[in-house]
Amino acid sequence: MSQNITPYKDSNLDKKEQVAQMFDTISGNYDGLNRVMTFGIDIKWRKKVLDLVAAKNPKTILDIATGTGDLAILMAKTDATEIIGADISEGMMQVGRKKVTDKNLDSRVKLVYGDSEKLPFADAYFDAITVAFGIRNFETLEKGLAEILRVLKPSGIFVILETSVPTKFPFKQGYKLHSYLLPLIGRLFSKDRDAYVYLSESASVFPYGEKLNNILRKIGFIEVKDMPQTFGAATIYSASKQ
């Protein structure tokens, strides 16, 4: 179980509402700031997620916590005929929809409101489901994962890309420095001073590696494995359904 870190400590809103509010606020500069703070390596990680999904030749793909749609748009490189990006932040999706239109992908990629814990899709609908840097924002991790299992087809693929914590020198120390600098940089370039504090804190306490593998198995996923990236700064997880 991940710790319930929330963006705004003095807010009466629940985590889900706070996360939506936070991403609505920072949506305008999120993409640019994200590239800077990951040194652009996140693009490489997303391409590895694409390779895992494309190998399964999916026809229907769901990208949860799609944000500004980067991963959903990337999935257009597969042969999928229906690609849906779901998110609770309308602000982020507005940015994403413009990118979809600019790439002439409106007929294949749709960005829609979607709560990870109450997905508006039929059972066993999707061949592939992805979540990139969003699973730690779920209000109740296990409930969200159970919903993902519900809408995934048997033998379908579920892929997570999420930050993790390096354990070896000097990458562990470098991660700590990056975690310290992240809120400072965010405060310089974002009008929401709390957002990047939350993003840093939530990454540092989220279960990763075998801990997340065990949670996935507990929910009912099979063929679970984790693949650390860039000395453990992020991890890609893949799983399937019985």
Q: What tens digit of pLDDT does each residue of 56-72 get?
A: 999 999 999 999 999 99
Tell me, yes or no, whether 2 lies in a domain.
no
Task: Tell whether 200 is covered by a domain.
Answer: yes
CATH number at residue 165: 3.40.50.150
pLDDT in tens, 73-125: 999 999 999 999 999 999 999 999 999 999 999 999 999 999 999 999 999 99
pLDDT recorded at residue 187: 67
Domain annotation covers residue 123? yes
Assigned domain for 3 exists: no
Six token digits for residue 86: 């779901």
Percent of the residues in the chain that have a pLDDT greater than 90, as a whole number:
71
52: in domain: yes
Asked if residues 140 and 113 have their Cβ atoms less than 8 Å apart, the reply is: no
Give 193's pLDDT tier (boundaries 50, 70, 90).
Answer: confident
| 142 confidence band (pLDDT: 50, 70, 90) | very high
Domain extent at residue 145 = 15-240
Assess if residue 4 is contained within a domain: no
Distance CA 181, CA 194 (A): 14
The C-alpha atoms of residue 148 and residue 118 are separated, in whole angstroms, by: 10
Mean pLDDT in residue range 183-199: 74
Task: Please give the Cα distance from 18 to 15 (Å, whole number).
Answer: 5
Side-chain-facing half-sphere of 179: CA atoms under 13 Å: 18
209 Cβ contact list (under 8 Å, min separation 6): 164, 226, 228, 235
Is the pLDDT reported for residue 169 higher than 80? no
Q: How far is CA 210 from each of CA 37, 52, 133, 214, rounded to the nearest angstrom?
A: 26, 20, 18, 6
pLDDT at 171 over 90: no
Nearest to 87 by CA among 42, 151, 27, 161: 27
| Nearest residue to 80 via CA among 102, 109, 48 | 109
Q: If you average pLDDT over every residue of the chain, what do you get? A: 91
Own/partner long-range contacts of 13-18 (Cβ < 8 Å, ≥24 apart): 14/139, 15/137, 15/139, 16/88, 16/115, 16/117, 16/139
pLDDT at 1: 44
| Per-residue confidence (pLDDT) for residue 228, from 0 to 100 | 95
Q: In this structure, is residue 5 part of a structural domain? A: no
pLDDT in tens, 15-38: 999 999 999 998 988 888 777 667
Number of domains in the chain: 1
Does residue 215 form part of some domain? yes
From the list 87, 86, 108, 111, the residue with the least C-alpha distance to 98 is 111
Q: Examine the pLDDT at 231 and tell me if it is beyond 70.
A: yes
Model confidence band, residue 235 (pLDDT cutoffs 50, 70, 90): very high
186-208: average pLDDT: 80
Please check whether residue 132 is in contact with residue 49, taking contact to mean a CB–CB distance below 8 angstroms: yes
